[in-house]
Structures are given as structure tokens and as C-alpha cells.
């Protein structure tokens, strides 16, 4: 009888230990909740970036988006919350300011009667125009417009250019990239001309230039050439850009 009692005691003791260990293994760990104000990103975008790094399995982290406040509620283990907050701090930074100079040049087979000697001298001393003069059949050039465009990294800018001679719409969207030896900007650029209104009253536009190019900070280059008037004239778009720090 005494032997049976000892066996039963050992059985219940081991069973209790097993239940205790099981309870420790399956109990939900401590959770931490943080409300975070997002400054430069949208809260929804920040949530999409952070979501893959939330805890999974027994511990299930979650992110709630507060659109009206542009904020996040992050709930996870204390250790994971700290990691997520550190990631967000690196991501949620003010976008770089980028500045572009856009020169719109008209090239022609014939001289421009209104062009003065000083204007022609200044234009023909431009290294880019000198290069164009050797590559294109257009031998006479006139500056139609020169504009400054300031835009934040990875955002879009739209403005009218062309001066009094011609009305054009310039669309530019830059994205800063860090190359091995230099700073550069990946630029998506479009130049269009209005062709009046459709029967529904909407503006009809004709795309003159649409391209994507990589521009090193401080570099000046020809973006594109678009023929006008059956090829006797051409619009030449020259672009330079730099990162403002």
C-alpha cells in the first residue's frame, strides 16, 4: 500500500510539473503598446513597411493606423516594439529638397529676326549649345524660357514654361539615389503642349518629350529634342539639377 502511495505521489508530482512547464511555454508574453506620430510618411505607408517585421506565432503583433492623426498604434513584445520604433525613426525623415534649372531652347534652320547680337553671343558660348550645333542640323538657337523648379524627393511638380512664345506643361518627378562615387537623381520628365479643347471641353495635349534619365548632382544635360513645324524648328530641353542640403 505504501508503495502504491509513493507511485501515485510521484505520478501527480510529475504531472503537476508538466502542467506548470506547459503553462509557462504557452502563456502569452508581456505586450507593449505605443502610439507613434508619423511626421513625413503617411501612416498607412509606414504601416505597410513595418508590418512584415511584426511578431508572428504565439505572439501576434499588430499595427493600427490612425489616418486622421497620421499616427500608428504599435502593439508587440517590448523588444520588438523598440526595434520597430528604431526602424520607423530611420524611415520617417524629411525628404531631400532638389532644385532643377530648365532651359527651353528653340532651334531653327533660319535666323531669328528678333534675336540680338548679345543674345546670340551668350547662347552660342554655352558648352551644351556648342555641342548641339555640331550634332544637329539646326544652326540657329533662341532661348524661349529658363525656369527654376524646386521639388522634394519622390514627389511631383507641374508648371507652365515657354514664356510668351509657346505654352508648354512641364511634369517632373525626381528620386534621389546614392551612387558609388556621387549623388544622383533619377528623373522622370514629361513635356506636353496644349492643342485646344475636345468636344467635351477637356484640354487636348500632345506629348513632346517623355523620358527617364539619371542626372548627377550639378550635371547639365540635354533631355530631349522635339521637332516643330514640319521639322524646320525644334524644341530642345536642357536640364541641370542639384541636391539642396
CATH number of the domain enclosing 46: 3.30.1370.120
175: in domain: yes
**Stretch 194-220: mean pLDDT:** 86
Q: Domain range spanning residue 159?
A: 97-244
Mean pLDDT confidence for 35-41 = 93
The number of beta carbons lying within 10 Å of the beta carbon of residue 231 is 10
53/56: higher pLDDT: 53
Q: Both 111 and 188 in a single domain?
A: yes
Mark whether 46 and 102 lie in a shared domain. no
Query: Can you tell me the distance from the alpha carbon of 48 to that of 54, in angstroms, rounded to the nearest whole number?
Result: 11
Assess whether 53 and 169 both reside in one domain.
no
Burial 27-46 (b: 16+ CB within 10 A, else e): eeeebeeeebebeebebeeb
- Average pLDDT estimate for 149-169: 89
- The predicted pLDDT at position 50 comes to 94
Cα separation, 41 vs 8, in Å, equals: 64
Confidence of residue 130 (pLDDT cuts 50, 70, 90): confident
| pLDDT of res. 26 | 53
Residue that finishes a domain, picked among 55, 70, 94? 94
Degrees, nearest 5: CA angle 52-58-63: 40
Same domain for 197 and 221, yes or no, is yes
Mean pLDDT highest for which of 123-132, 142-151, 171-180?
Answer: 142-151
Of 31, 113, 101, the C-alpha closest to 73 is 31
Q: What percent of the chain lies above the pLDDT cut of 90? A: 49
pLDDT of residue 8: 43
Cα separation values, 203 from 70, 197, 200, 210, Å: 35, 4, 9, 18
Block residue for cell numbers 507641374:
158
The domain boundary, picked from 63, 94, 125, lies at: 94
pTM: 0.70
- Give the Cα separation of 72 and 46 in Å (integer): 8
To which H or E segment does residue 226 belong? strand 220-228
Give Cα separations from 222 to 176, 211, 240 (angstroms).
19, 11, 9
Q: Is residue 15 part of a domain?
A: no
Residue 13 lies in a domain: no
Q: Tell me whether residue 73 is in a domain.
A: yes
Within this chain, do residues 235 and 119 fall inside the same structural domain, yes or no? yes
Report pLDDT for 123: 84
Domain boundary among 94, 122, 145: 94
Number of domains in the chain: 2
* pLDDT digits 0-9 by tens, 174-206: 999 877 777 899 999 999 988 777 778 787 888
- Torsion angles phi and psi, residue 70, rounded to 5: 50, 55
Q: Do 225 and 110 belong together in one domain?
A: yes
Query: Is 104 in contact with 143 (CB distance < 8 Å)?
Result: yes
Q: In the structure, what pLDDT confidence band is assigned to residue 72 with cuts at 50, 70 and 90?
A: very high
Domain co-membership, 53 together with 126: no
| Whether 124 and 42 share a structural domain | no
Residue 106 above 50 pLDDT?
A: yes
Distance CA 123, CA 133 (A): 11
Residues 169 and 238 in one domain: yes
Residues 90 and 124 in one domain: no
* Structural Rg of the chain based on CA atoms: 32
Amino acid at each position: 500500500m505504501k508503495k502504491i502511495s509513493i507511485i501515485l505521489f510521484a505520478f501527480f508530482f510529475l504531472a503537476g510539473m508538466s502542467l506548470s512547464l506547459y503553462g509557462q511555454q504557452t502563456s502569452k508574453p508581456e505586450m507593449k503598446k505605443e502610439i507613434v506620430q508619423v511626421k513625413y510618411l503617411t501612416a498607412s505607408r509606414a504601416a505597410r513597411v513595418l508590418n512584415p517585421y511584426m511578431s508572428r506565432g504565439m505572439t501576434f503583433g499588430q499595427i493600427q493606423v490612425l489616418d486622421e492623426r497620421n499616427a500608428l498604434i504599435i502593439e508587440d513584445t517590448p523588444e520588438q516594439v523598440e526595434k520597430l520604433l528604431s526602424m520607423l525613426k530611420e524611415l520617417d525623415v524629411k525628404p531631400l529638397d532638389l532644385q532643377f534649372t530648365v532651359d527651353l531652347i528653340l532651334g531653327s534652320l533660319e535666323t531669328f529676326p528678333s534675336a540680338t547680337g548679345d543674345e546670340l553671343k551668350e547662347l552660342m558660348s554655352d558648352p551644351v549649345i556648342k555641342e548641339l550645333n555640331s550634332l544637329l542640323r539646326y544652326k540657329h538657337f533662341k532661348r524661349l524660357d529658363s525656369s527654376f523648379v524646386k521639388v522634394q524627393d519622390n514627389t511631383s511638380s507641374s508648371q507652365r514654361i515657354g514664356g510668351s512664345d509657346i505654352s508648354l506643361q512641364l511634369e517632373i518627378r525626381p528620386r534621389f539615389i546614392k551612387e558609388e562615387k556621387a549623388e544622383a537623381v533619377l528623373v522622370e520628365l514629361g513635356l506636353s503642349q496644349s492643342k485646344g479643347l475636345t468636344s467635351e471641353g477637356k484640354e487636348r495635349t500632345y506629348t513632346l518629350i517623355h523620358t527617364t534619365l539619371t542626372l548627377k548632382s550639378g550635371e547639365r544635360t540635354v533631355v530631349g529634342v522635339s521637332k516643330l513645324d514640319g521639322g524646320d524648328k525644334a524644341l530642345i530641353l536642357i536640364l541641370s539639377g542639384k541636391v539642396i542640403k
